[in-house]
Chain A
Amino acid sequence: AQSVSQHNHHVILSEAASLELGCNYSYGGTVNLFWYVQYPGQHLQLLLKYFSGDPLVKGIKGFEAEFIKSKFSFNLRKPSVQWSDTAEYFCAVTGSGNTGKLIFGQGTTLQVKP
């Protein structure tokens, strides 16, 4: 079955700490991968995406993610978090070349303490 698993449900960090959020997927075939962020009271915004090419993807606000095909993973990283990064983070997958339904992970709540 197609699925996305985010290992960390709730992460609490202090400002300037490094962040890594895990994401593993189960999907037959090649994939498109996404990380979205949902700030409190706001809509989902695209942080970054992977379609093909360089497996290390850089996104907005200093975030990056690495696609490791052999591990079916697409972990999100940021070297130094800020209080403003407090939000809900969602990993999602769809089939490569497929603009069909997006399968979401359960989300990770990140709380950054000032």
Chain B
Amino acid sequence: GAVVSQHPSWVICKSGTSVKIECRSLDFQATTMFWYRQFPKQSLMLMATSNEGSKATYEQGVEKDKFLINHASLTLSTLTVTSAHPEDSSFYICSAIGTASFVDYGYTFGSGTRLTVV
């Protein structure tokens, strides 16, 4: 099947520091990856869409300088939360699709990263 691995599962960082979250497609080439944020008891809010080798497209209201997304290869995308503040504490989830895998698997999701900024 189409598997997406996301690391770390949880991270605690100090306010003002940066945190990098990785999202890897393990058994397929991810032409597009998506980054979501999920608040407790709420749905997923799309933050940005990234295509391999090009700049990410951010949703309205998402600060691109704060949430840096890099999709340098067909199997890896990273989200870096820069100068993190307590209000950035949340659950971040990545999703990936591949041209070959989409018909069978649709969008595949990572297990999420719980970020706590203290």
Question: A residues engaging B (CB < 8 A)?
Answer: 32, 34, 36, 42-46, 49, 51, 90, 92, 99-102, 104-107, 109
A-B contact count (CB 8 A): 47
Pick from A44, A46, A107: contact of B105, CB under 8 Å: A46
List 19 additional contacts besides A49-B106, A102-B34, A109-B41; criterion CB under 8 Å: A32-B106, A42-B111, A43-B6, A43-B93, A43-B109, A43-B111, A43-B112, A44-B93, A45-B109, A46-B107, A46-B108, A90-B44, A99-B99, A99-B102, A101-B34, A101-B46, A102-B46, A105-B43, A106-B43
Q: Which one of B32, B102, B107 has the greatest number of beta carbons of chain A within 10 Å?
A: B107
User: Which A residues touch B105, using CB under 8 A?
Assistant: 46
Question: B residues engaging A (CB < 8 A)?
Answer: 6, 31-32, 34, 41-44, 46, 49, 93, 95, 97, 99, 102-103, 105-112
Q: Are A51 and B44 in contact (CB under 8 A)?
A: no
User: Which A residues touch B41, using CB under 8 A?
Assistant: 109
List 8 A-B residue pairs with CB atoms under 8 Å apart, sorted by A's residue number.
Answer: A34-B106, A43-B109, A43-B110, A44-B44, A51-B103, A92-B107, A99-B31, A106-B43
User: Which B residues touch A42, using CB under 8 A?
Assistant: 111
User: Which A residues touch B110, using CB under 8 A?
Assistant: 43
